[in-house]
Amino acid sequence: MDLAALLHQTFGFPAFRANQEAVCRAATEGRDVLLVMPTGAGKSLCYQLPAIARKGTALVISPLIALMDDQAAKLSALGLRVARIHSGLSRDEARQACRDYLDGSLQFLFIAPERMRVPGFPEMLAKRKPALIAIDEAHCISQWGHDFRPDYRTLGEHLPLLRPAPVIALTATATPTVQKDIVAQIRLDSPALFIHGFRRHNLAIEVVEMSKPRRNQFTIDLLKSPECRPAIVYAPSRKAAEELASQLGRGAAAYHAGLDPATRERVQRHFLSGNLEVVVATIAFGMGIDKADVRTVVHTALPGSVEAYYQEIGRAGRDGQPSRTVLLHSFVDRKIHEGFLERDYPPITELARVAALLTGDFQMPSLLRQRVKMDVETFDRTAEKLVAQGAAAFDIAGNLRVTENKNWQSGYDRQLAFRRAQIDAMARYAETPQCRMTALIRHFGDTEDGFRPCGRCDFCSPERATAQPFRSPTQQEDRQLRTILRALDGAAPRATGKLHTDLGLGIDRRQFDAYLNALTRAGLITLIADTFTNAEGKVINFKRASLTHEGRTRDEGGDLAVMLPEEADQSNPRRSKQRKQSKHPRGLSSRPKRSGAERSASPPLTPTGTPPTREPKSPGAPFMTRSGMGGTSREARPASDPTVTLTQAQQALDQRLRDWRTAEAERLGLPQFFVLGTSTLRNIVLSHPRNLADLRKLEGLTLEKAERFGPGILELLNG
């Protein structure tokens, strides 16, 4: 079949997006498919087009009413025949949908996974086999996923009735472990695997450690700018969402599961239509919501997993235009998630008490609660976990009975450990100095990606960052940084804790870790994770530091090209005194310091406490400085003085040079600062060299870089 022609005829699209055609062809030809593709990349088309091509009715299993309604409305608007069955519709509407399905008048039938455990419903579907089965948000199937749904877990028991229809499982957030579990649980038959496209080229990701009291005001200040809206703000609780929404004013509204359905629907509708510019939500908002022009996504607390975080930031910039995401976090967020974990995963002894009362007959939950003397919320969570482990089963009324699984306790322990590991992974992501986008790509196992730096995040391009200003080190800080480098020179990788103790720099561990992070961002050292087991048998995580090639070959007397994050509390007298000691206390830009990151007084998240968050560098490449890449002395840099005011023509030239650097960095797969430092670009603007000889004289521009990039720069200057 000519899928390209069908694509244009039905949807009006002139061509497939990247990777879509291969997926559509595999499903159209009848193969089972697992598709892991990021939010906004066009996953829905990958089941919709094959369903139309195969004719008959496609059965779409979807976890959220809002998601079903949104997709059904779009298909109906194209003139396709669509029906839904979910709890928000009347019984008469559900019955009519079933009749339409059986007489073959539908092209798509959307149902919730819970519908498959209604007695007789799977058998009804089997009377007229679907042409294709699509399982949306398929990560919900896996107990190793971030949004596990017990009713999704049991789909594999019902799907054989509906074969030989091919099954396509779709999700934006599945790690390799979750991918394998999805395939096993829904019994995909030799599926075609499409795992790619996790890189979002238009997202600038920032991660900032900030105390909780400052986060609301930071968010308010950030979203005052019209170019930052529309925006989605994710809050850690319903109360926090409502509080921040009220502070943001009339253009914002809260969205969470505690609101009545009519209010949620109204907020969603107004946001999609543009009547609302900001939604402050819990994780209940956004799944499957197709608003292309979201410019900013802010997390005011640490998400519970990297998978959830990636899915949520993926709602920004679905139109391909530049967009920004900002994650605010501190150590206290980790403690909150650990509290959620204790709440959501009752002690195994509680599960065992309930399991001991179950029989082969379904029993009412209210009677079981009375017998175990358990409150409603705890009982419901306990029952849900027993069902998830296959130790019990629900009927449609929520009654419970025992099943044959006698080994559920080990499975529960593994799931609890996995949840803790997800929190650990999210904390590591927030703390580790590295390209933000590359770290996400590695997490999801996208082996087709080259893992090149993104050039846009706060690590790769700090001069663009909005949430954390940077500054040059003071004289004292510069001496201390050099002491660390000398201690590592010629030595094997050293444990950072012992290095701090041995050097005795007179600074606390938190400041020492900030130095290590800055040196890592500058590409002068690398931090390697390691572990050891103590006398009590507990595994202790720590890090070792060692010099990179750039660190070993640095000019001892040259500029270190290191930038430190601004202190949030400018009233600190010790910090003020240190700042005055600096010969040239330059900030990265002249913007207000209202959004500087704060370090929590709580213990760090890892032994190195890594947070400093405007992470401008990738390991192996030096950080940009006001003197460019090569490093001249601080005293000899008048052209790069940021206080020099540029004329209008010079500003235009400066922007052209920045655009050229962005394109060159993307072509080479390098961070932008590895091409040329921002101060070097400024020197070029102010000096306006006429030939290569003039270029070679510029401070901060090595001979190698002058030869490599000079022709392109001169062409731009003289064009």
Q: Is the pLDDT of residue 581 over 80?
A: no
Q: How far is CA 40 from CA 17, 44, 276, 659, 666, in A?
A: 11, 9, 21, 26, 22
pLDDT at 639: 41
pLDDT at 719: 67
**By CB neighbour count within 10 A (0-12 exposed, 13-18 middle, 19+ buried), where does 507 fall?**
middle
Please tell me whether residues 321 and 345 are part of one structural domain: no
Task: Give a yes or no: residue 525 inside a domain.
Answer: yes
Q: Mean pLDDT, to the nearest integer, of 506-521?
A: 87
User: Which among 597, 624, 651 is the end of a domain?
Assistant: 624
How many Cα neighbours within 13 Å face the side chain of 63?
24
Strand partners of residue 470: 565
pLDDT confidence of 674, banded at 50, 70, 90? low
pLDDT confidence of 384, banded at 50, 70, 90? confident
pLDDT at 634: 31
User: Which among 160, 195, 230 is the end of a domain?
Assistant: 195
Please tell me whether residues 187 and 275 are part of one structural domain: no
Please tell me whether residues 569 and 676 are part of one structural domain: no
Which pair of tokens denotes residue 221? 């200040």
Could you list the residue range(s) of the whole structural domain that residue 704 is in? Answer: 638-718
pLDDT at 700: 64
Q: Is the pLDDT of residue 57 over 70?
A: yes
Task: Give a yes or no: residue 579 inside a domain.
Answer: yes
Rg (CA), the chain: 28
pLDDT confidence of 644, banded at 50, 70, 90? low
Task: Give a yes or no: residue 405 inside a domain.
Answer: yes
Q: DSSP secondary-structure letter at 363? A: B
Task: Say which CATH number the domain at 692 has.
Answer: 1.10.150.80
Distance CA 491, CA 494 (A): 8
Bridging pattern class, strands 564-565 and 470-471: antiparallel
For residue range 87-126, list pLDDT tens digits in order.
Answer: 878 889 999 999 999 999 999 999 988 889 888 999 999 9
Which of 519-522's residues contact partners 24+ apart within 8 Å by CB, and which partners? 519/481, 519/484, 519/485, 519/551, 519/562, 520/433, 520/617, 520/619, 521/433, 521/459, 521/562, 521/563, 521/612, 521/615, 521/616, 521/617, 521/623, 522/560, 522/561, 522/562, 522/563, 522/617, 522/622, 522/623
Name which of 531, 306, 280, 266 is nearest 431 in CA terms: 306
Please tell me whether residues 43 and 137 are part of one structural domain: yes
For residue range 197-250, list pLDDT tens digits in order.
Answer: 788 889 999 999 898 999 999 999 999 999 999 999 999 989 999 999 999 998
pLDDT confidence of 264, banded at 50, 70, 90? confident
Q: Is the pLDDT of residue 593 over 60?
A: no
Name which of 309, 13, 31 is nearest 172 in CA terms: 309
Name which residue leads in pLDDT, 229 or 460.
229
Q: Mean pLDDT, to the nearest integer, of 524-532?
A: 85
Percent of the chain at pLDDT > 70 equals 85
Q: Is the pLDDT of residue 327 over 70?
A: yes
Please tell me whether residues 278 and 390 are part of one structural domain: no
Please tell me whether residues 241 and 101 are part of one structural domain: no
pLDDT at 526: 87
Highest mean pLDDT among 149-158, 358-367, 710-719: 358-367
Q: Is the pLDDT of residue 355 over 60?
A: yes
pLDDT confidence of 567, banded at 50, 70, 90? low
pLDDT at 22: 93
pLDDT confidence of 284, banded at 50, 70, 90? low
Q: Is the peptide bond before 164 cis (omega within 30 degrees of 0)?
A: yes
Distance CA 610, CA 597 (A): 13
Q: Is the pLDDT of residue 353 over 50?
A: yes
Q: How far is CA 345 from CA 333, 340, 388, in A?
A: 18, 8, 12
The SS3 of residue 143 is: coil
Please tell me whether residues 598 and 668 are part of one structural domain: no
**What average pLDDT does the chain have?**
82
Q: Mean pLDDT, to the nearest integer, of 126-137?
A: 95
pLDDT at 56: 92
Name which of 58, 82, 79 is nearest 70 in CA terms: 82
Among 35-49, 501-515, 664-678, which is the least confidently predicted range?
664-678
Name which residue leads in pLDDT, 582 or 460.
460
For residue range 685-694, list pLDDT tens digits in order.
Answer: 888 888 888 8
Q: Mean pLDDT, to the nearest integer, of 447-467?
A: 80
Q: Mean pLDDT, to the nearest integer, of 2-24?
A: 91
Task: Give a yes or no: residue 526 inside a domain.
Answer: yes
Q: Mean pLDDT, to the nearest integer, of 354-382?
A: 92
For residue range 389-409, list pLDDT tens digits in order.
Answer: 888 988 877 889 998 877 889
pLDDT at 123: 94
Q: Is the pLDDT of residue 490 over 80?
A: yes
Please, which residues have CB within 8 angstroms of residue 8's CB and are 6 or more apart in sequence?
14
pLDDT at 626: 27
pLDDT at 172: 83
Please tell me whether residues 603 and 619 are part of one structural domain: yes
Name which of 287, 298, 338 is nearest 149 in CA terms: 287
Q: Mean pLDDT, to the nearest integer, of 367-389?
A: 90
Task: Say which CATH number the domain at 168 has.
Answer: 3.40.50.300
Name which residue leads in pLDDT, 537 or 120.
120
pLDDT at 668: 66
Which pair of tokens denotes residue 583? 């010969």
Residues 685, 653 contacting (CB under 8 angstroms): yes
Among 240-254, 365-379, 459-473, which is the least confidently predicted range?
459-473
Q: Where are the alpha helices (DSSP H) in 12-44?
A: 20-28
Task: Give a yes or no: residue 632 inside a domain.
Answer: no
Among 374-383, 389-398, 581-590, which is the least confidently predicted range?
581-590
Please tell me whether residues 522 and 546 are part of one structural domain: yes
Q: Mean pLDDT, to the nearest integer, of 16-26?
A: 92
Q: Mean pLDDT, to the nearest integer, of 659-687?
A: 76
Name which residue leads in pLDDT, 647 or 205.
205
pLDDT at 479: 92
Please tell me whether residues 212 and 271 are part of one structural domain: yes
Name which residue leads in pLDDT, 142 or 440.
440
User: Which among 624, 657, 684 is the end of a domain?
Assistant: 624
Q: Mean pLDDT, to the nearest integer, of 610-622?
A: 33
Residues 444, 314 contacting (CB under 8 angstroms): no
pLDDT at 598: 32
Q: Is the pLDDT of residue 68 over 80?
A: yes
**What's the domain count of the chain?**
5
pLDDT confidence of 621, banded at 50, 70, 90? very low
User: How many contiguous H segments (helices) and E segments (strands) does the chain have?
Assistant: 29, 20
Q: Is the peptide bond before 473 cis (omega within 30 degrees of 0)?
A: no
Bridging pattern class, strands 82-85 and 108-111: parallel
Q: Mean pLDDT, to the nearest integer, of 576-581?
A: 39
Q: Is the pLDDT of residue 628 over 60?
A: no
Please tell me whether residues 17 and 102 are part of one structural domain: yes
Task: Give a yes or no: residue 426 inside a domain.
Answer: no
Task: Say which CATH number the domain at 360 has.
Answer: 1.10.10.10
Distance CA 388, CA 419 (A): 14
DSSP 523-591: TSEEEEEEEEE-TTS-EEEEEEEEE-HHHHT--TTS-----EEPPS-TT-HHHHHHHHH-SS--BS-SS
Q: State the angle between helix axes of 45-54 and 20-28 in degrees (0 to 180), rounded to the nearest 10.
A: 30
DSSP 612-670: -------TTSPPP-TTTTT---GGG-GGG-TTSPPPHHHHHHHHHHHHHHHHHHHHHT-
Residues 144, 120 contacting (CB under 8 angstroms): no
Please tell me whether residues 651 and 577 are part of one structural domain: no
Name which of 279, 207, 282 is nearest 248 in CA terms: 279
pLDDT at 464: 77
Task: Give a yes or no: residue 448 inside a domain.
Answer: no
For residue range 168-194, list pLDDT tens digits in order.
Answer: 999 987 888 889 999 999 999 999 999
pLDDT at 669: 61
Distance CA 45, CA 83 (A): 18
Strand partners of residue 571: none
Task: Give a yes or no: residue 386 inside a domain.
Answer: yes
pLDDT at 240: 94
SS (H, E, C) 603-623: CCCCCCCCCCCCCCCCCCCCC
pLDDT at 295: 96
Q: Is the pLDDT of residue 630 over 50?
A: no
